[in-house]
Structure 1
Amino acid sequence: MLLAVLAAWVVAAVLTVVGWSVAGGERQPDDLWLLVVLLVIPGVIGLAVARGIGRWTASRRRDRAGS
Structure 2
Amino acid sequence: MNAQRPAFESRFPGQSLDRSQWFAAYLPHWTDSDAAAARYRVADGLTLLIEPDQPVWQPPGDRGFG
TM-score of the two chains, using structure 2 as the length reference:
0.23
More strand per residue: 1 or 2? 2
Query: Which entry has the higher C-alpha Rg, 1 or 2?
Result: 1
Q: Which has the higher helix share?
A: 1
| Structure with the larger RCO, 1 or 2 (CA within 8 Å, 6+ apart) | 1
Q: TM-score, normalised by structure 1?
A: 0.23
